[in-house]
Every structure is written in C-alpha cells, then in structure tokens.
Amino acid sequence: MPVRRTGRLCSVVAALALTVTAPTAVATAAASAPGSAAALREVLFVGNNWDGTADVLESTGDFARIGRIDVIPDKDERMAEINADPIRWIHFMAIRNSVGEGHDQFVDDMYSTPDGRSVVVSRPSFADVVSLDLATGRINWRFPVSGYRSDHMAVSPDGGRVAVSASTSNTVHVLDIGTGEELGSFRTGDKPHENVFSADGRHIWNMSIGEVNTALDATWLDWTKGDRRITVVDAATFERVEVIDMRDRLDAAGLKDHSDAVRPAAFSPDGSKLYFQVSFFNGFLEYDVVTDRITRTKTLPKNPATSDDRTTWVNDSRHHGITLKPDGSKICVAGTMDDYATVVDRTTLAEGPLVTVSKPYWATVSGDGRSCVVSESGADRVTAIDFATGEKTVSVPVGDHPQRVRLGRVAGGRPAPSGG
C-alpha cells in the first residue's frame, strides 16, 4: 500500500536545499580542517568497476590523471572467504552474471574523508565498504554490509558520515567515515540504490529501484519488479519521516506507462524540486517537493541505433546519470543506452547538442562548476561537457568500465600508486 504523506516533510523543505555537487561539501569541510587547507588538493575520483581501481584526475581544466588507486588490495583474502562459503559464492557469481554483465563489481562509489588522507569505497562483489589510506594504499577499516551486495553511497555535508545501500537486504547503513563504526541503519523498499543527504544533514533520501535483473520488462509485468519507493529518514534517529510512492504521482500526471523505479536524482539548489530518472525512460521528470506532484516531464531523443528490446538495456536503465549546474540553470543528463549526453536548460527544458559518448553511466560537476563530467563505461574514459555551450571539451582515458565520478580532496598532492 502506498504510504500517504504526513506533512512533516513539507515543513522542512527549506532544510532540504541541496548543493547539487554534494562531494564539494566534503571538500569544503576538508579545506576548513585546522592546519590542512594548504595541503589539500581538489580532485575527481573515477571508480573503474571491473578492474578494481579508482583513477584520480584534476578536477578542472584538462582533467589530467594524477594517479590510480588499487581499491582491492585484499582481493586474495576476500576471494578465499567467498570460495569457502557456498552461499556467498552463489551470490558472488550471481552478481557477476547479472548486474556485472559477466564481470565482478569491485568499486561502485567513493568519497574522500574530510582530512583528505583516505578514500571510502563501496565494493559490490565483496559486499562491503572499505577506507583506504591514500598514502600507503592500506585498508584503514572494513565494514561488511548486511546481505550480499553494497551499492551507491552518500556523504553528509560535514563529511563525517557515509550512507551505503545494501541492495540485497533492503537496508541502508550509516557509518562514521573515520572509523567505519555503524551509527545506525534503516529499512527501505526493494533494492535500495541512490542515497542523498539534505544540505543541513538532517535527512537522508533513499531511492529503491526494485528488481532490475530479470527479463520481465514488459509494461504489463511491472508488478513483478517489487516495492519501489523513496524513503526519507531522520539522519540522527534513522526514523522514517516520509515514504513517497511515485506510482500515484505518475498516474496523476498521466504517466501510467512509466516505471516508478527512481534511479539517479538531483535536487534544485533550494531543495524545492527533485529531478530524477526512472527505469526504461529516455528522459527525466521534475517533482515538486512542496506540492507533492510531478510538474514536468522531459522526453529526450531516442538513438535510432538503440534496440527497442527492453531486455537488452543494462539493469533496466535507459538513461542513468543526472546532475545540475551549481546555480541550478542547467541539467546534465547521461543517455546511457542511447550513447549520448546532453545539457538541458532548466527553465525551458530545451536540450543542447547530443554529445556522442559510449554508454555514459554517471554525470557530475567539475570543481569549478563549469563542466558536466560523464563516465563513458563503454569506452573507458571520462568526458567533460561545457555547461555554457553544451559541447564536449575533453576526454581522458581511465580504467575498465568507469561508473561513479565524485569530487573530493587529497592530502599531500598524490595518492599511492597502484602499479596500473
């Protein structure tokens, strides 16, 4: 049953105003740490999911590679544990052969710590989160999530807490980013995915996407996809504040054939609007937080070369990756299965040039806020697109199957080399 809005959430809309480049909040917190500002350097972390590394790039300009981090230095130990446990082995292989597209998933998401000395990484195939020392490459702490797969994360505005989705147990764990201690957890819908903190750190929004790894993708089989909803909780008590079932909102907007599985999402700078993608849809929707309704829909062009067979789309995605320019004027969209990215004017919803990219998997904002940076998982590179012109400015090669791209800071200028 859909849970009706209680009205409590609307009373804190002002508190939900988000900086659309949330990782910058970590950078700001790090820069303000006593005695550390001069030593910290802003960077982009790029998680190379299939080869278990993270590339570290300049956050602006030519986005040159600074270094590479091995995020699975304990691979032999983890594999020994998995091979010794038949149930874990079955789940490990299921991840490889479904969501992993025949590959192991070694890095999904990552954030730097406020002091810039470590990076915290979720590792889906190992069902954990680890903190890696950027100077030595050693593991500071490891947190095994409940169930058998870890997924998207979010960091609090002060950089002190990290929330991670445990996708097979329908749970979000919230950890102390410095120690790995669990501060609390909360239950979600089926297959929790994206997490977002409010700007003041008081609330966490989680989007559950349901079952995306079956071939039951016809519209009439939507009921098989499970319980998909947005869960909003108090970030201190982890008590539920609101549950938003987009099915009713989509139906009210005349969008009965649209999936209600909310994928990547981004708030407007004042927190009053949520822009989000849903499974199978080439475009995005605008949701008004105060009035609790979908106010606009943007359908983006289809690539004629993209198959109409929805079972061929990776994990039910059509478009996966969305971010806003810091002033809120432009929206950058990764058209994953359509092999392009584009910048959309937020006022008119007119799209700019369709920039050809290969299976773009994520979109974020450069350190100076002038560019949208997308990961090209099909070409093993990241590409920057100028918000002003909508045109590509540069592409930089990275590791195998880049997915998440996050802004952060590193201490001492360079991370430990991985040999790659």
The two structure tokens encoding residue 31: 């820069």
Q: For 35, phi and psi rounded to 5 degrees?
A: 75, 5
Q: What is the mean pLDDT of residues 93-108?
A: 94
Q: For residues 1 and 133, is the Cβ–Cβ distance under 8 A? A: no
Q: Which residue has the higher pLDDT, 381 or 31?
A: 381
Under the banding of pLDDT at 50, 70 and 90, the label for residue 217 is: confident
Q: For residues 126 and 142, is the Cβ–Cβ distance under 8 A? A: no
**pLDDT tens digits for range 336-351:** 999 999 999 999 999 9
Under the banding of pLDDT at 50, 70 and 90, the label for residue 222 is: confident
How far is it, in rounded angstroms, from Cα 317 to Cα 331? 19
Q: Which domains does the chain have, with CATH numbers?
A: 10-411 (2.130.10.10)
Under the banding of pLDDT at 50, 70 and 90, the label for residue 221 is: confident
Q: What is the mean pLDDT of residues 162-170?
A: 97
Nearest to 256 by CA among 267, 268, 248, 264: 248
Nearest to 128 by CA among 82, 188, 190: 82
pLDDT at 292 exceeding the cut of 90: yes
Residue 245 pLDDT:
95
How far is it, in rounded angstroms, from Cα 294 to Cα 317? 20
CA–CA distances in Å: residue 351 to residues 27, 300, 340: 31, 8, 12
Nearest to 120 by CA among 77, 157, 164: 164
Q: What is the identity of the amino acid at 343?
A: V
Residue 186 pLDDT:
98
pLDDT at 152 exceeding the cut of 90: yes
Q: Kindly report the average pLDDT of the chain as a whole number.
A: 90
Q: For 126, phi and psi rounded to 5 degrees?
A: -95, 0
Residue 2 pLDDT:
35
Under the banding of pLDDT at 50, 70 and 90, the label for residue 297 is: very high
pLDDT at 4 exceeding the cut of 60: no
Under the banding of pLDDT at 50, 70 and 90, the label for residue 38 is: low
Residue 260 pLDDT:
95
pLDDT at 59 exceeding the cut of 70: yes
Q: What is the mean pLDDT of residues 158-174?
A: 97
| Neighbour count for residue 196 (Cβ, 10 Å) | 22
Residue 298 pLDDT:
98
Under the banding of pLDDT at 50, 70 and 90, the label for residue 19 is: very low
pLDDT at 35 exceeding the cut of 70: no
Under the banding of pLDDT at 50, 70 and 90, the label for residue 414 is: low
Q: What is the mean pLDDT of residues 115-122?
A: 97
